[in-house]
Amino acid sequence: MDFKKLDRAITTDQTSGSVKLLAGADGKIFGGHILGANAGDLIAPVVYLMRFGLTVKMMAEAMLPYPTMAEAVRGATAQL
């Protein structure tokens, strides 16, 4: 997900960046790439998904605070 589409990134003028996730046919996350502001914080939900074997569908349906940069991870799962 491109940060240019993320409301929090727009309001804080941090629109350079993106989140890309890799998943298997079963929907489980293999890993991902996060570039841009708060990348160190945004990797946490990806690690959590991987550690506990959660699927992209589970993350795509998760409720998150709005507006936050973490929505980029959810947005990336919704694109898979």
Q: What is the pLDDT along the chain (80 residues), one digit of tens a residue?
A: 999 999 999 999 999 999 999 999 999 999 999 999 999 999 999 999 999 999 999 999 988 899 999 999 999 998 88
CATH of the domain at 64: 3.30.390.30
pTM over 0.85: yes
Domain count, the chain: 1
**HSE-CB of 10 using CA atoms within 13 angstroms:** 8
Under a CB-based contact definition with an 8 Å cutoff, are residues 11 and 67 in contact? yes
- Name the residue range of residue 25's domain: 3-78
Say whether the peptide bond before residue 65 is cis (omega within 30 degrees of 0): no
